[in-house]
Structure formats: structure tokens, C-alpha cells
Structure 1
Amino acid sequence: MAKSKKKLKVAIMGAKGYPYVYGGYDTMVRELGERLVHRGVHVRVYNHRALFPQRPRYVNGIECIYTPAIETKSLTQLSHTFFSMIHACLSDVDVILVVNSANGPFGLISKIFRKPTAINVDGLEWLRPKWKGFGSKYFFWASRMATKFYDQIINDSVEMERVYKQLFNASSKVIAYGANPVEEADPGYVEKWGISAQEYFLIVGRLIPDNNADIIIKGFLQSDSKRKLVIVGDVPYLDDYATLLKNIDDDRLLFLGYITDGNELAAWYTHCYAYFHGHEFGGTNPAMLKALGYGCAILALDTPFNQEMLQNGKHGWYFQRSAQSIKDITEAAESTPKRMDYFRSIARSGLVKKYTWDYVAEQYLEVFQDLAGFKVEVPSGEADKVEKMIP
């Protein structure tokens, strides 16, 4: 495939937009989009119009298109991608990247218009407790449709690659999620709550059943720990499960809700005694990568995904999905401070090359070039960086 003077044009859709950062997909759009621009790619991101009071056409070199949506709980995301897909297929973009397996059926539109496409399908959405009945069936069906309509399926872990092969007989390319290691963080964000470094355990994630905060809290409170358990995260709607957790009356619990300041979030990660990761479904989890990048001792639910990320116990301990197991691992962690020190000392080394954003961007660029049928001219400075990364 010869290099071309033509500028590669890539459209990205399915997240909330750029530079909006709320969750994992939005972070990926930002980190990936900015790096692609530096590599000479024209990047267009489809933004959810209702979230952007100001609508500049270009931000940091990324073209932003503000697409409408049908603003209901079940239709907002799907309708936004539908309108975005129509717009992209009628434009001159070379490749379309879609995130979220819920958007699987919309690949039919790009098939009709003969636009090359890739989709990042994320995790086992159809197994999540919040998607009951029709929602679960829709996600399973949509994931299957993604394998039929999109030119390239992208999974973010080897385990998810296996799942898609087993369930849908579909091959996929594994491109992990990235993280940025941080060496230091201001302890003042923690100390203002009257808490010193390593005086608390930490949970970070949405308060939804499949993240198992309820079981972690129950087991922790049954332990003899004198430390606090700090919970960062919430849900953006009224919810019985989240409300029940936040109403638990115990001095050892501290619910902080959402933290949008990156420096503050880094401080809570960096200075915790240990980080609990109870996420049950999905591939490469952004919260776990942050924990590695911030140098945490990690206590994780024993799943194939978490085993893969922590290299089968090299970078953390595992617990089972029970309050007793949480109690036991809490007390074991408290009684072995040297082991926790060791996990903290090697955590950042767990961010192997596949978990770095520069490498992630290079992997996506290869996919886009293959789909477009030509290679792009990478600016000289970036070309040197890429040359060092290629194994």
C-alpha cells in the first residue's frame, strides 16, 4: 500500500463528543482524536448537540459536528448515532469509527453507502443487570449485527476477542484502552477531608449493580479495618440501588459522588491504601488502568478480564463476589503493608505498551489506513515517535 498525499479523513461517532469527557468512550475519543490529528489525519467527531451550548466548528484541530437526538432515556444515544451516520455517509470522509455495540445495526447504512467502517464494541453489555428483558436482548442482537455490517470489529481485550469468536463466530482486532501514568498528586485534595495518605480504601465507578459496590461495602464494614472506604462515583439519575448505598450510616464510609477535576481524582487514587475494583463485565476497564497508572495496590474481582489486566496476579490480589471474600481480603491487605507497598511500587509497570495511548492511536491508524486503502504521510516529528514504538 503506497503512501498518499491525500489527507485521510476519519469520522468518529457514538460517544458524547469532543472535548466532552464523562466516561470511557469520551476519553478515548479525546485521546485518540488528538493523536490522530498530530499524525496528519483529518478527524471529525460527532457531538451530541444538547451537551454543547457553544458549538465551535474546530477544537484543537478536530472538526466538530453537532448532531441532534431524540431526547429520551432510551433513544438519545441511538438516535444521535443514527443521524450522525447519515451525515457521515453523505460526506467525503474515508473511514467511519463507531463506538458502542448498541450501534451495531447502523452499520447497514454505511454498507448501503459503501463507506468503510470499524466499531469498538466494548464489553458484555447484554449481561449487565441494568439491561433487563428487552434491553438485554437488544444489546445481544445489536452486537451480532455489528459483526455482520461493519468491516472491522475492535475489541479491547483478548478475552472479549474470544467471546466474539465463540458467540458470533466473528474475528476481531484487539486494541486495548490507554492510560497516562502519573507519578505525583497533591495530597491536599485528600487532607481537606481530614484524611491522611493510606488511611482509606478506594472505589471508583458508577453505582450500578455490576460494579458490585454493595458487596464491597458490606464486606468492608464486616472487617475489622479502622480505615475509611471512599467511594467516588454515582449515577446521573434517581436510582434505588445508588440511593440505598448512599444511605448506609457508617462513619467509615465517605461518598464523594462524581469528581470531574482530574487532579483531584488523581490524588484519591495515588494516596489510597488499596483500590477495590468490582467491575464484573467488560474488557479493558479505564478505572483499573487509572489505578495502575496512579500507582495503586489493587484488589480486584476475580474475572477473566481482570486477570488479563493484572497479568494473572502480578499486579494485584483477587477476591470472589461475596461479602466474606471482601472481608477476608480487606483484613489480609491490612495485615501485609509490605505487600501493598510492593504492589504500589510495580503498578505503573503494569501499563505495558498496549495500554499506552500513543500505541493505541498507532493501532487505530493502521486499521483506518487498511480500510481506506492508502497510507498517510506522518509529520516528521510524529514519524520519529512512531518509529520508536514499532516492535
Structure 2
Amino acid sequence: MKIAIIGSRGYPYVYSGYETFVSEVAPRLVAKGVEVHVYCHKKLFKERPKEVNGIRLHYFSSIKSKSLSQWSNTFLCTMHAVFSKYDVILYVNSANGIFGPLTRIFRKRTAINVDGLEWLRPKWKGLGAKVFYLSSKMATRWMDRIITDADAMKDVYIEEFKTESVVIAYGANIRYSRQPELISQWQLEKDGYYLIVGRLIPDNNALLILEEFIRSDSGKKLVIVGDVPYQDEYATRIKAIKDARVIFTGYVNGSDQLAELYHNCFAYFHGHEFGGTNPTLLKALAYGCAVIALDTKFSREVLKSEEHGVYFSKDKDDLCQLIREIEKKPEKLATLKGKSRLRITENYTWEKITGQYFDLFQEMYTSQK
């Protein structure tokens, strides 16, 4: 069985969720006897081997434009793929749904992982939101299988597009603290701080969490990991707030340093509003964090409601009061920390995720014979 994966930056380039997905799933598929081909953004690779870890690699260029780079690259990759002898083509990113008519014309069995509700994200206002919505709709009309990463996201696609989907979540790897001393570079101590990890964009709600934390008068610190790679009014507002308890680390590129920030925090704040199974939330569980999450159906699904998390709303003072209550009775968070990794082993291992993709590809492969 020959599978092509299109839409990520490539392999073994690890940058965000899609690349992590490819880096974890592709080698495991190879171990199951699948011939995997991954399409890569040529400009990101100084060295361009034809094969790494048994995965066949193809490199294509793109237009140097923020809005057209991904689509132009995917178009070139698609044109190569439709003339190649693949049994299934897997796209990642709902923006690539516009290529469904091409794969249908060439009678290629195609699946797409649509990820989150991109058209609702504040950064894609106006035309951008309409394009993402249209791409997602085209995927449901032209591609053979839609893959959503949560039951709640499956419901969205049924309600919005009248389309069923296959639910395959994201995964995470269990990890334990190895070098707790690494957090000392930020003058931090174990359980002495809350943690936020993510891009400083409105739908991750870092500003709301920061303001609520400051009003709580907590004696702990708040560590904010992340930024945006461009000038942005929202990110600037966040970073302009001055409080001795708040630490902005920017991007933390060292995986060991970032892991220790997770391992040793008092609690992890998860403010992500849109999307299905969020990789950062899974990482927090896999690294042993107690999770305080924005109350969304997506977070509740991952955390099994109150079993693995506590929740706050966007109402003023709601999180502030929750922080005060938790610090008076920290036993709840200690309980959450003690069983957080169980949620990963129960439902979100990469081995399980790979097995589900293998079964899907096998079904698509045999159905076309």
C-alpha cells in the first residue's frame, strides 16, 4: 500500500501540529509495511535526501507570499501526486480542500484531516474566513474521507456541512521530569507558577487569562511561553502589561527546557477556544500537568469533563475567583496531576492514532479494488 501525505511543511521538519503528526505517524506506518511518501517545502531543507527513516521524500517550491505559499506548494505537490501510483493521498489542513476536484478528476482516493474551525478564528476575518469556509466545504464535497480529530468536531461538520467524518484524534508521548534545574534560568521553583503555552492570538485568550491572574492577587508567578512571528496589536497589548509576577519567555526552542516548564508548573492554563483535540493540551496531560481550561466542548472531550480538568468562562472575575479558590484548596490540582497521564494512555497514544490511520487507509485501498 502506497500513501502520500501532502500539506505539512515536510519530514523530518518539526514546527507545528501537522509536522509533529507526520513525524510521529509516518515512521509507524512504515513499520506496519506501508510505503509512505511525504511532500516537503523545498525552501525549508538545505539537504534534501530522497529517503529518511524509510519515508520517501519529495521537495517542491512555492510562491514567496504569506497567503499563497501553502497553496502554491500544495498545487505542485498535487500535480505530482495525481500522476503517481499512490493508493491513497492524505491531505492535512482544511485549506487544502480546494484540491478535491483535482484528485476527483484523476480518480485518486483522497482523505483530508481538516483540523479545527479555521473560518471562526479572529485572525481570518473577512475574505480569509470565507476562503477557509469554502475550502472546508469543498473538501466535504470532493474528497473521499473527511477526518476530524474529536467527536465534537465531527458534530460541527454534520451540522455545518451535512457530512459524516472519521474521528481520529491527535497523540502525545508520556514524559517525566529529568532536569528540573532548567527552570531556574527564569528564577522559577516547582509549583511556584502557572503556565500558558501558545501563540499570542485572540482565540487562545492569553490576555483574558493574564488580566484575571493579575486581579486574583496570587502570590505565584505566571509564565507565558510563545509569541507571534509578526507585528501584532493583540500580542503587543499582552507584552505591554507590567507585573513583577509575569514572565514572558518568548519562544522556548529547547525541548528539554519547555518540557521542564510543563513538568514543574502549579497548573497549566488552556485558553484555546477553537479546534478539536489540541496538541498543547495533550502535551500538558502527557507531561503531568493539572489543567485549568476554558470551558469548551473540545476541552471537555479531551479532559473527560471534570475527571481531568477544571474550567473557567470568559465572564469577568470567573477565573480570578477560581484561582483564589484553588490556591486555598490545592488538593484538587494535586489529584489532577496524579492521574493526568492516564488520559493519554487511555485514548491519545501515537500507536493508537497510527493504527486508526492504517485501518482507514486499508479500508480505502481495498474498497477501490
The alignment's TM-score, normalised by the length of structure 1, stands at 0.92
State the secondary structure of the residue aligned to 2:305: coil
Q: Is the contact made by 1:13 and 1:97 (CA closer than 8 Å) also made in structure 2?
A: yes
Distance in 2, matches of 1:46 and 1:332, equals: 50
Distance in 2, matches of 1:373 and 1:80, equals: 30
Structure 2 counterpart of 1:136: 129
Given candidates 40, 45, 67, the residue that maps to 1:47 is: 40
RMSD: 1.3
1:249-271 per-residue CA deviation (whole Å, 9 max, x = no partner) reads 11111111122222221101010
**2:213 aligned with 1:255, yes or no?**
no
Distance in 2, matches of 1:207 and 1:83, equals: 32
Task: State the percentage of identical aligned residues.
Answer: 51
1:124-158 per-residue CA deviation (whole Å, 9 max, x = no partner) reads 11110000001111111111100011100000000
Read off the aligned partner of 2:318 and give its amino acid letter. Answer: S
Which residues in structure 2 correspond to 1:1-391 (within 5 Å)? 8-373=1-366
1:33-88 per-residue CA deviation (whole Å, 9 max, x = no partner) reads 11111111111111111111111111111111111111111111111111111111
Q: Is the contact made by 1:218 and 1:323 (CA closer than 8 Å) also made in structure 2?
A: no
Could you list the runs of 5+ residues in structure 2 that have no partner in the other structure? none
1:321-344 per-residue CA deviation (whole Å, 9 max, x = no partner) reads 134112112112211121111110
Q: Is the contact made by 1:274 and 1:340 (CA closer than 8 Å) also made in structure 2?
A: yes
Distance in 1, matches of 2:253 and 2:124, equals: 26
Of structures 1 and 2, the one with the larger relative CO (CA 8 A, separation 6+) is 1
Greater shift, 323-332 or 273-282, is seen at 323-332
Read off the aligned partner of 2:152 and give its amino acid letter. Answer: E
Q: Is the contact made by 1:127 and 1:281 (CA closer than 8 Å) also made in structure 2?
A: yes
Distance in 1, matches of 2:215 and 2:225, equals: 21
Distance in 2, matches of 1:20 and 1:290, equals: 19
Read off the aligned partner of 2:50 and give its amino acid letter. Answer: R
1:273-326 per-residue CA deviation (whole Å, 9 max, x = no partner) reads 000000000000000000110111100000000111110111110000134112
Read off the aligned partner of 2:270 and give its amino acid letter. Answer: H
State the secondary structure of the residue aligned to 1:282: coil
Distance in 2, matches of 1:147 and 1:264, equals: 41
Q: Is the contact made by 1:125 and 1:139 (CA closer than 8 Å) also made in structure 2?
A: yes
State the secondary structure of the residue aligned to 2:307: coil
State the secondary structure of the residue aligned to 1:283: coil
Distance in 2, matches of 1:374 and 1:267, equals: 46
Distance in 2, matches of 1:323 and 1:257, equals: 27
Distance in 2, matches of 1:11 and 1:272, equals: 40
Distance in 1, matches of 2:253 and 2:187, equals: 21
Distance in 1, matches of 2:107 and 2:67, equals: 29
State the secondary structure of the residue aligned to 1:98: strand
State the secondary structure of the residue aligned to 1:328: helix
Stretches of 4+ moved more than 6 A in 1?
none
Structure 2 counterpart of 1:4: none
Greater shift, 230-239 or 169-178, is seen at 230-239
Distance in 2, matches of 1:242 and 1:180, equals: 30
Distance in 1, matches of 2:8 and 2:319, equals: 34
Q: Is the contact made by 1:185 and 1:270 (CA closer than 8 Å) also made in structure 2?
A: no
Question: Structure 1 residues 253, 179: CA separation in 2 closer, same or farther (over 3 Å shift)?
Answer: same
Could you list the runs of 5+ residues in structure 1 that have no partner in the other structure? 1-7, 376-391
Question: Structure 1 residues 271, 323: CA separation in 2 closer, same or farther (over 3 Å shift)?
Answer: farther
1:224-263 per-residue CA deviation (whole Å, 9 max, x = no partner) reads 2011100111112221211221121111111111222222
State the secondary structure of the residue aligned to 1:280: coil
| Pairwise CA distance, 1:352 | 4.5
State the secondary structure of the residue aligned to 2:223: strand
